[in-house]
Chains A and B, each alone.
Chain A
Amino acid sequence: MAAGTHYLPGLTPTNEAPVQKSDDAAGYYVLGEKLVDPKTPTGPIADRWTTRKFENRLVNPANRRKLDVIIVGTGLAGGAAAATLGEAGYNVKSFCYQDSPRRAHSIAAQGGINASKNYKSDGDSDYRLFYDTVKGGDYRSRESNVYRLAEVSTNIIDQCVAQGVPFAREYGGLLDNRSFGGVQVSRTFYARGQTGQQLLLGAYQAMERQVAAGTVEQFTRHEMLDVIIVDDRARGIVARNMVTGEIETHLADAVVLATGGYGNVFYLSTNAMGSNVMAAWRAHRKGAYMANPCYTQIHPTCIPVTGAHQSKLTLMSESLRNDGRIWVPKNAEDCTKDPRNIPEADRDYFLERIYPAFGNLVPRDIASRAAKYMCDEGRGVGPEVEETQPDGSVKKFRRGVYLDLGAAIERLGKDKIEEKYDNLLDMYERITGENPYEVPMRIYPAVHYVMGGLWVDYELQTSVTGLFCTGEANFSDHGANRLGASALMQGLADGYFVLPNTITDYLADGPFDKIDESHPAVVEALDGVTSRVEKLMSINGERSVESIHKELGQIMWEYCGMDRREEGLKTAIGLIRELKKEFWTNVKVLGSAESLNQDLEKANRVADFIELGELMCIDALNRRESCGGHFRGESQTDEGEAMRHDDEFAYVAAWEFGGEDGAPILHKEDLIYTAIEMKQRSYK
Chain B
Amino acid sequence: MKLTLKIWRQANASDKGAIKTYELDGVSQDMSFLEMLDLLNEQLLHNDEEPVAFDSDCREGICGTCSLMINGEAHGPEVTTTCQLHMRSFKDGDTITIEPWRASSFPIVRDLIVDRSAFDRIIQNGGYISANTGSAPEANSVPAPRDKAMRAFNTATCIGCGACVAACPNGSASLFLGAKITHLGELPQGQPERYSRVQTMLAQHDAEGFGGCTNIGECASACPKEIPLDVISQLNKDLRNSMILG
Contact surface of A with B, Cβ cutoff 8 Å: 80, 83-84, 87, 98-103, 105, 107-108, 117, 119, 155, 157-164, 166, 168-175, 191-192, 194, 196-198, 201, 204-206, 208-209, 211-212, 218, 220, 243, 270, 272-274, 306-307, 309-312, 314-315, 423, 427, 430-431, 433, 496-497, 500, 544, 546-547, 588, 590-591, 595-596, 598-599
Contacts and interface: CB of A to CB of B under 8 A. Distances in A.
B160 A100 contact: yes
Interface residues of B, number: 75
25 contacts: A98-B63, A100-B119, A100-B120, A102-B64, A102-B120, A102-B160, A103-B57, A103-B64, A107-B63, A108-B58, A117-B139, A158-B136, A159-B131, A162-B129, A168-B153, A175-B139, A205-B127, A273-B58, A274-B57, A309-B39, A314-B59, A430-B84, A430-B86, A595-B110, A598-B51
B154 to A, nearest CB: 9
Contacts of B138: 158
B73 interface: no
A164 to B, nearest CB: 5
A273 B59 contact: yes
Contacts of A160: 139
Contacts of B133: 80, 83-84, 87, 159, 206, 496-497, 500
A157 B139 contact: yes
A158 B137 contact: yes
A163 B129 contact: yes
A208 B59 contact: no
B145 A173 contact: yes
Contacts of B63: 98, 103, 105, 107-108, 272
Interface string B66-110: 000000000000101000101010000000000000000000011
Contact of B12 (A84, A164, A595, A599): A595
Contacts of B57: 98, 103, 105, 272-274
A107 B60 CA distance: 10
A164 B152 contact: yes
Given A197-B157, A591-B50, A166 B125 contact: no
B84 A596 contact: no
B128 interface: yes
B157 A205 contact: no
Contacts of A99: 55, 65, 115-117
A152 B137 CA distance: 14
A312 B142 CA distance: 41
A169 B55 CA distance: 35
Contacts of A430: 78, 80, 84, 86
Given A155-B136, A159-B136, A309 B28 contact: yes
A158 B133 CA distance: 10
Most B-side CB within 10 Å, residue of A198, A309, A314: A309
Nearest to A115: B139
Grouping DSSP codes into helix (H, G, I), strand (E, B) and loop, the B interface class, with mixed when no group exceeds half, is loop
A497 B136 CA distance: 12
A599 B53 CA distance: 9
Which 7 residue pairs are nearest across A and B when measured between Cβ atoms?
A173-B143, A205-B128, A162-B136, A162-B131, A166-B153, A158-B136, A161-B139
A307 B28 CA distance: 9
A207 to B, nearest CB: 9
Nearest to B120: A100
Interface stretch (B16-24, B163-171, B183-191, B227-235): B183-191
Contacts of B115: 99
A525 to B, nearest CB: 27
Nearest to B157: A194
A320 B156 CA distance: 23
A309 B35 contact: yes
B50 A307 contact: no
A100 B176 CA distance: 15
B136 to A, nearest CB: 4
Contacts of A590: 45, 48-51
B184 to A, nearest CB: 5
Contacts of A174: 140, 143
Given A102-B160, A272-B63, A273-B57, A427 B139 contact: no
Contact of B120 (A168, A194, A208, A312): A208
Contact of B156 (A166, A173, A209, A274): A166
Contacts of B42: 544, 546-547
Contacts of A496: 133-134
A485 to B, nearest CB: 16
B1 to A, nearest CB: 12
Given A99-B117, A163-B128, A243-B110, 16 more contacts: A98-B63, A99-B55, A102-B120, A158-B138, A164-B129, A164-B152, A173-B145, A191-B156, A192-B153, A205-B129, A212-B124, A311-B59, A312-B59, A314-B59, A430-B78, A431-B86
A171 B45 CA distance: 57
Contacts of A164: 128-129, 152, 183-184, 187, 189-190
Nearest to A157: B139
